[in-house]
Structure 1
Amino acid sequence: MIPVLKPTIDARTKKELLKVMDSGWWGFGPKTQEFEKKFAKYVGAKYCVATNSGTSALDLCLKVYNIKGGELITTPMTFVSDAIVGEWNNMDVTFADIDPDTLCLDPKSLVITKKTKAVITVDSHGRLANIKGIRKKFKGLIIEDAAHAMYTPGAGKDADITIWSFQAVKSLPMWDGGAITTNDEKIYKKLRTLTWLGVEKSTYDRAMGKKYTWDYDITQSQGIKAYMTDTQAVVGLGQLRRLTKTNKRRRAIQAMYNKAFKNMPEIEIPKYSHTVQYYTMKCENRNELSEYLADNGIVTSVHFKPLSKMTYWKKAVKRPLPVNDEVWLKLLTLPVHNALTNKEVKFIIKKVKEFYEG
């Protein structure tokens, strides 16, 4: 069976993980702090706060800007995290339509009202969202969800604040994890306490003096338990070290698919992605092709079945989403990951062509 996505890890990172496990310090500590510094430098931000997931990071972005109530606008072409954090903060969620090529939120579809308090836009499949276009229509809080864009040049530059995801099948995978980057020192300092229920000084910070200090203060009540642990961070450091190489491999697979499919009338190859978080093409007879590939040991997926088609989230459809509704029916994601061999890619290409050629 060829999986659609699969994380990989090198021998050096495995050894470093065992060192952390043997150290006796598994929670937030020196490896997390090291990861935050190196990650911030890598993406060109002044500050980074590492979290236990991208979802936690999204929630904290709303909390750190004191967003409570009002309207959150986001894309339906995403995972549920981008919508549900709005409800967690008593917001009314509204979906905007997408660009047919990038699959990112289309600024032209935005309807801004007095109730609109924030926009979460996703760098879909690793392609940068049009944040400057959004800014022309909306002067409030713009959160960039760069979960797919680790690292697409330019990610994290134009929004007010940016989140990243290191979930197990992302281009920088841990078991799970996330991060928030910002250039605002006040926001950074507030985020630090928000990641641990308002506690103003971490256990690690209290343990690093000449002697352990048990006393601490709690300065506010808006926080959640969201900090990253050193067992996550040490894996993240290893993945960050090899990210240029692993993303290059993903782009090589993208190029192989594009070359094979570019002249096939039944397939529209996807717009270029620097990270190739997903290789999601538009194709005729999507469901039948998926079944045929499954019968031949090839796992595919759809990124994404829109949130607007999910029973609970249909309430967030306040106006027509014509592009979203048409495009998603043709989307199919083929395997892309660093464990995928050229032989397997050629086999996948062969089976796709077999399906259409009969």
Structure 2
Amino acid sequence: MSNPIYVTQPVLPDLKEFIPYLEQIWAKKILTNGGPLHQQLEQELCDYLNVDYISLFNNGTIALITALQALDLKAGEVITTPYTFLATAHAIVWNNLTPVFVDIDPITSNIDPKKVEEAITDDTVAILPVHCYGIPCDVVALQVLATKHKLKLVYDAAHAFGVTCNNHSLLNYGDLSTISFHATKVFNTFEGGAIVCHSAEMKQRIDQLKNFGIVDETTVNDISLNGKLSEVHAALGLLQLKTIDQTLQARGEVDHYYRELLADIDGIRCIQRENLEKDNYAYFPIVISEPYPLSRDELFEKFKQHNVFARKYFYPLMTELSVYQQYQSDTPNAKLLSEQVLCLPMYPALEGSDIQKIVQIIKGRI
């Protein structure tokens, strides 16, 4: 059997280039707590992403939990999408807030602003959209709603590293945006994440919250978590930044090749990535419907028979999980997409021959 083709493969620098960073860490004996490499990575990320303030975290989930805590939201409801990863909804519940799930736009896969407005009540305190697959939400419409109803707007931008639209970094929209640097992401530090904010005062608050709420040696103002990123993770991030543009270019080439080969297959729709000045090509989702002869699940199983491991991303919906059954909502677009979508393998080192094989499987020629 041929070698397995997984849905993703992490980008890693040459190990020889990593060693000098480790030697620096060993020499300074500073392993965490905002060391020199951590500080350097924050500055370089601000420069690269064109944002004013960024706070590094040990993962994207803790960053999202902390972002909601930093806004001092009163008890109430947070409107979000059911078409997302667990972390989005978990962060809401961890903050003793109530998730309200509304439907998505079936074309973009992102939360539908019209459905958001319909769901706003006197109990609503925030909106938490997701830039799904790195495709921008309707940031203008969502900001209008947040301003009109005096709601906080926090973006789960886990997939959106480096994306720009409307001549702005996508991370600059809303009150706060959070990013993930997990191993499966476009930019990874093994594990990691960040919050982007807009003032020095908010960054100071976030930095205190990610360190147990400690203000100084004798003062603790909040009950919060330990979200600090280590120097080893920061070192990897500094190396990854050196080649991130080549990484994005290679991902773009894979994306374009897929679209060229899949263009004429009835019942296979590639989710579009439009109106972006800079894209990161975070995922390659296809939507499977009639007249394609196989269901999504049948194609998924066929791939596995040929040692290709795609992913049903996102399935099941949050509202179909037992832990979220108490938050039921009517989201037919999200449900249908979750039953039809399949993310194909996508990473810079994916060979053209492997892409051809994947498409031949879809076409029924293998």
TM-score by length of 1: 0.91
Per-residue displacement from partner, 1:167-204 (whole Å, max 9, x unpaired)? 11000012110001111221111111111112235xxx
- Equivalent residue, structure 2, for 1:149: 160
- Equivalent residue, structure 1, for 2:183: 168
Structure 2 residue 145 is matched with structure 1 residue 137 = yes
Structure 2 residue 30 is matched with structure 1 residue 15 = no
Deviation at 1:13, TM superposition (A): 4.3
Gaps of 5+ in 1: 202-215
Regions of 4+ moved over 4 Å: none
The one-letter amino acid paired with 2:13 is: D
Equivalent residues in 2 for 1:302-341, closer than 5 Å: 302-305=312-315, 306-318=317-329, 320-341=330-351
How far apart are the structure 2 equivalents of 1:119 and 1:19? 44
Per-residue displacement from partner, 1:21-57 (whole Å, max 9, x unpaired)? 5333221311111111111122222111100111111
Deviation at 1:316, TM superposition (A): 2.0
- Equivalent residue, structure 1, for 2:77: 71
How far apart are the structure 2 equivalents of 1:17 and 1:304? 37
- Equivalent residue, structure 1, for 2:45: 39
Deviation at 1:157, TM superposition (A): 2.2
The one-letter amino acid paired with 2:185 is: K
Gaps of 5+ in 2: 290-294
Equivalent residues in 2 for 1:204-283, closer than 5 Å: 216-272=217-273, 274-283=279-288
Per-residue displacement from partner, 1:56-81 (whole Å, max 9, x unpaired)? 11111111111242001111111111
- Equivalent residue, structure 2, for 1:343: 353
The one-letter amino acid paired with 1:144 is: Y
Q: 1:112 aligns with which of 116, 120, 133?
A: 120
Per-residue displacement from partner, 1:264-313 (whole Å, max 9, x unpaired)? 11201111272222111001311111111111111110110121221211
How far apart are the structure 2 equivalents of 1:157 and 1:225? 25
TM-score by length of 2: 0.89
Q: Between Structure 1 and Structure 2, how many residues are aligned?
A: 341
Deviation at 1:16, TM superposition (A): 4.0
- Equivalent residue, structure 1, for 2:86: 80
Structure 2 residue 295 is matched with structure 1 residue 290 = no
Checking the alignment, whether the CA contact within 8 Å between 2:254 and 2:348 is kept in structure 1 is no
Structure 2 residue 183 is matched with structure 1 residue 182 = no
Deviation at 1:219, TM superposition (A): 3.1
Aligned-residue RMSD, C-alpha:
1.6
**Which is worse superposed, 271-280 or 145-154?**
271-280
